[in-house]
C-alpha cells in the first residue's frame, strides 16, 4: 500500500487546567542551569524559542492514517512539508526502514541532527503508527514483541513532593546550578539536593 499524503502542522499542547491546583508548581520559580549560562550576557536573550509542538499525519491509499508528534514546530513543519512530504508520497507505507533511510539521505545537505532529527522522528513514528493500523497489530509486536511485563517509571520536573504523592518512587530534577557556577555552585547544589532529594532516589540532568 502506498503513501497518499503527508501533512505536518503546528499543534498547541499547552495544559490549560480548569481547576486551581492544590499545590502550585515550582517550575517557574527555579531557574534551570543550561549550557548557554556560561555566557551571562546571553542567558536571558538566548532562552528557548517559543515554538509549539509539531504533529504529522501520514495517509495511506485506503484512508488509514498514522500520527506522530514532536517539538520545535516552526522549522520541523517546514522540513516535513517542504521536503519530505512530496518526496515520500507514492512510496510503500510498509517500508519503514527504507523510508527512514530515505529521510536521512535527503537531509544530508543540511544535516540529520538537531532540528532535522525531530522532523525525521515525528514522521518515523507516524509511519510505524500507520503500519500497525494496517496490520492491525500493536507497534511493540512489530518491533519484536514484549520484552518485560512492567517498566519502572520516574517523573521529571521541579515538584518532587507532588510526584511522590502521585505514587512515583523516583524523580529526576533539573539542576539550578551547573559548571559555570564553579565550586560555590557545586556547594549550593549539594544543599539544594539534600533539601529536596531526601525522600526519593534522585538523578540530575
Domain of 136, in residue numbers: 3-13+21-142
Q: Are residues 84 and 163 in the same domain?
A: no
Q: Are residues 31 and 132 in the same domain?
A: yes
149 in any annotated domain: no
Above pLDDT 70, what percent of the chain? 92
Q: Are residues 110 and 75 in the same domain?
A: yes
150 in any annotated domain: no
* Model confidence pTM above 0.85: no
Q: Are residues 172 and 129 in the same domain?
A: no
69 in any annotated domain: yes
CA distance 63 to 104: 26
Domain boundary among 108, 142, 176: 142
pLDDT higher than threshold 80 for residue 12: yes
Phi and psi angles of residue 93, each rounded to the nearest 5 degrees, phi first: -70, -10
113 in any annotated domain: yes
pLDDT higher than threshold 60 for residue 204: no
pLDDT higher than threshold 50 for residue 5: yes
pLDDT higher than threshold 90 for residue 49: no
pLDDT at 189: 78
Q: Report the pLDDT averaged over residues 8-23.
A: 86
Q: Are residues 102 and 162 in the same domain?
A: no
Tens of pLDDT, residue by residue over 164-182, are 888 999 888 777 888 778 8
Q: Are residues 137 and 188 in the same domain?
A: no
Q: Are residues 74 and 123 in the same domain?
A: yes
Q: Report the pLDDT averaged over residues 9-19.
A: 88
Q: Are residues 129 and 169 in the same domain?
A: no
Greater pLDDT, 97 or 161: 97
Q: Are residues 135 and 165 in the same domain?
A: no
166 in any annotated domain: yes
CA distance 10 to 73: 6
pLDDT at 47: 67
Q: Are residues 88 and 181 in the same domain?
A: no
98 in any annotated domain: yes
pLDDT at 35: 79
Band of the pLDDT at 46, cuts 50, 70, 90?
A: low
- In the chain, how many domains are there? 2
Band of the pLDDT at 205, cuts 50, 70, 90?
A: very low
Tens of pLDDT, residue by residue over 116-164, are 999 999 999 999 999 999 999 999 999 999 888 889 999 988 888 888 8
Q: If DSSP states are collapsed to H, E and C, what string results for the chain?
A: CEEEEEEEEEECCCCCCCCCCCCCCCCCCCCCCCHHHHCHHHCCCCCCCCCCEEEEEEEECCCCEEEEEECCHHHHHHHHHHHHHHHHCCCECCCHHHHHHHHHHHCHHHCCCCHHHHHHHHHHHHHHHHHHHHHCCCHHHHCCCCCCCCCCCCEECCCHHHHHHHCCCEEEECCCCCHHHHHHHHHHHHHHHHHHHCCCEEEEC
Strand partners, 54: 10, 70
147 in any annotated domain: no
Amino acid at each position: 500500500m502506498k503513501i497518499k499524503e503527508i501533512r505536518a502542522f503546528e499543534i498547541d499542547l499547552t495544559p490549560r487546567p480548569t481547576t486551581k491546583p492544590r499545590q502550585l508548581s515550582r517550575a517557574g520559580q527555579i531557574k534551570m542551569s543550561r549550557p548557554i549560562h556560561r555566557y551571562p550576557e546571553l542567558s536571558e536573550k538566548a532562552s528557548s524559542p517559543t515554538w509549539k509542538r509539531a504533529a504529522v499525519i501520514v495517509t495511506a491509499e485506503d484512508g488509514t492514517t498514522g500520527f506522530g508528534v514532536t517539538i520545535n514546530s516552526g522549522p520541523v513543519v517546514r522540513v516535513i512539508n517542504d521536503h519530505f512530504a512530496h518526496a515520500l508520497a507514492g512510496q510503500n507505507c510498509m517500508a519503514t526502514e527504507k523510508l527512514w533511510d530515505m529521510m536521512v539521505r535527503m537531509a544530508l545537505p543540511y544535516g540529520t541532527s538537531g532540528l532535522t532529527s525531530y522532523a525525521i522522528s515525528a514522521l518515523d513514528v507516524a509511519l510505524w503508527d500507520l503500519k500497525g493500523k494496517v496490520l492491525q497489530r500493536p507497534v511493540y509486536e512489530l518491533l519484536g514483541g514484549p520484552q518485560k511485563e512492567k517498566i519502572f517509571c520516574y517523573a521529571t520536573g521541579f515538584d518532587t513532593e507532588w510526584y511522590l504523592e502521585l505514587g512515583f518512587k523516583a524523580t529526576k530534577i533539573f539542576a539550578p546550578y551547573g559548571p559555570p557556577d564553579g565550586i560555590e555552585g557545586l556547594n549550593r547544589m549539594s544543599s539544594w539536593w539534600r533539601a529536596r532529594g531526601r525522600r526519593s532516589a534522585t538523578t540530575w540532568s
